[in-house]
Structure 1
Amino acid sequence: MKRFIISALTIFFMLSYSTYGEAQQRFKAAALVGANINQIDGDDLIGFHHIGFQGGLKVYTVFTERWEMGLSILYTQQGSKASIDDFSLNYDKIQFNMIEVPVLVHFNEWKFKLGTGFSYARMINYKVIDVTGADISAFQDYNSNIFSFIVETSLLVSENLSFNLRWSRSLSNFQANSDNGKFLSRVIGLRAMYHF
């Protein structure tokens, strides 16, 4: 995992290396904040009922007027939540708190931006509540490293402000023990981005 992050950062900075004057035109940065609507396939809690926070910083380099590559460091909450009290289910709520590092390629057209890529997330901690309301986190075991596929679009509403819609799906199983089945997350994110 460390190799992945180091390789991504090295490639990113090598591609964006230039003289000082060109760097101001080739390097851009943004701060973002928003919410994730989540579901985990495999936990029997059907529907996008869990809402989590997402925020962080993004830097990207401009290759041409239309093509960019971006790297973000984000605090992300994912999980799932039961829509009703159903005592036949194992869980009432699952929440994963993670640091996520997405690397995306963007295509720009007028005020719109389309992006796709992959992300690596590292689990900070998690909380699992069963249907009786008891915290059963200590009895659960989840993977610390999660890879995801991402597709997103952004609308630039002013020189410094854009709104971003993002869809992602985990490629890695959240369950540490595959005998317990697969937990794969699906996330829809809506974020505001301030461009410096």
Structure 2
Amino acid sequence: MKLSVIILFLLCSVSHSLSAQNEEEGIFTATLLAGANFSQIDGDEDAAYSKVGFNGGARGGVRFGDRMELCTEILFSQKGSYIKSLNKTYHLDYIEVPVLFYYKDWEAADKNNRKYMRVMVGGGFSYSRLLNSATKQYGTTLEDGQPGYANFLSNDLMFMLDANIFFTRNWGINVRWARSLLTIVEKPIRQNISYAINRSIILRVLFRF
């Protein structure tokens, strides 16, 4: 985790320096991201992406030619699920470190004739560390040992697919789908279901330096 933070900081610093010196895209890229998770937990009592939470942070990338880029991110990500029929919420706060590989297309130029790619699509994996969890029902926070309480694991490994569309050289939107590869609970949330996994659809605004 500490190594990823250091690498991302260095990538952002170098990218900012290069962009100030070069009108074209540099080898390194840096991006700020902010938006929302629409989440659910497979294995609870509901199947809708009805839990809304914040997702935001920074992305650093290394370009391989004009068409490919390897990126890592440092994110604060709020996940969980909301079960309307039971008025029950599982709230999960994570620090997340995705690593993704992108293919880029649709070359464009800004008003200063600087070239950039409008579309980035890719996929990868993400490691998440749980910071905080809470289970609430009818407005009351459930404690460990109470019926309906869930013990969540500290670590989560996810697979993700990702798409970015840039409307200008700097501004764009991001859509991401992510799914846990392993269960995220110590004990099943529901009877006869041995697992529980995070699923999220993420929508974010991007600012690329």
Q: Same fold per TM (> 0.5)? A: yes
Q: Tell me the distance in 1 between the aligned counterparts of 2:5 and 2:54.
A: 25
Aligned residues: 181
Is residue 57–residue 73 contact of structure 1 (8 Å, CA) maintained in 2? yes
Deviates more, 1:136-145 or 1:102-111: 136-145
Deviation (angstroms), 1:46: 2.4
Unmatched runs of 5 consecutive residues or more in structure 2: 107-117
TM-score, with length taken from structure 2: 0.78
Match among 133, 142, 157 for residue 152 of structure 2: 142
CA RMSD in angstroms comes to 2.7
**TM alignment of 1:2-41, pairs within 5 A:** 6=3, 25-41=26-42
Larger radius of gyration: 2
SS in 2 for 1:114: strand
Deviates more, 1:176-185 or 1:121-130: 176-185
Q: Tell me the distance in 2 between the aligned counterparts of 1:52 and 1:192.
A: 15
- In structure 1, the residue matched to 2:88 is 92
- In structure 2, the residue matched to 1:115 is 122
> Percentage identity across aligned positions?
30
SS in 2 for 1:146: strand
- In structure 2, the residue matched to 1:73 is 74
Deviation (angstroms), 1:9: 7.5
- In structure 2, the residue matched to 1:189 is 202
TM-score, with length taken from structure 1: 0.83
Is residue 126–residue 137 contact of structure 1 (8 Å, CA) maintained in 2? no
Amino acid of the residue matched to residue 147 of structure 1?
L
Amino acid of the residue matched to residue 143 of structure 1?
L
Q: Tell me the distance in 2 between the aligned counterparts of 1:41 and 1:187.
A: 11
Query: Deviation string for 1:56-109 (max 9, x for gaps)?
Result: 01100101100000000000000100133x4xxxx7000100000000000001
Query: Deviation string for 1:100-120 (max 9, x for gaps)?
Result: 000000000111110100000
Deviation >4 Å, runs of 4+: 5-10, 20-24
Amino acid of the residue matched to residue 89 of structure 2?
K
Unmatched runs of 5 consecutive residues or more in structure 1: none
Q: Tell me the distance in 1 between the aligned counterparts of 2:100 and 2:151.
A: 30
Distance 1:188 1:179, change over 3 A: closer
Q: Tell me the distance in 1 between the aligned counterparts of 2:69 and 2:178.
A: 19
Distance 1:55 1:179, change over 3 A: closer
Deviation (angstroms), 1:29: 0.3
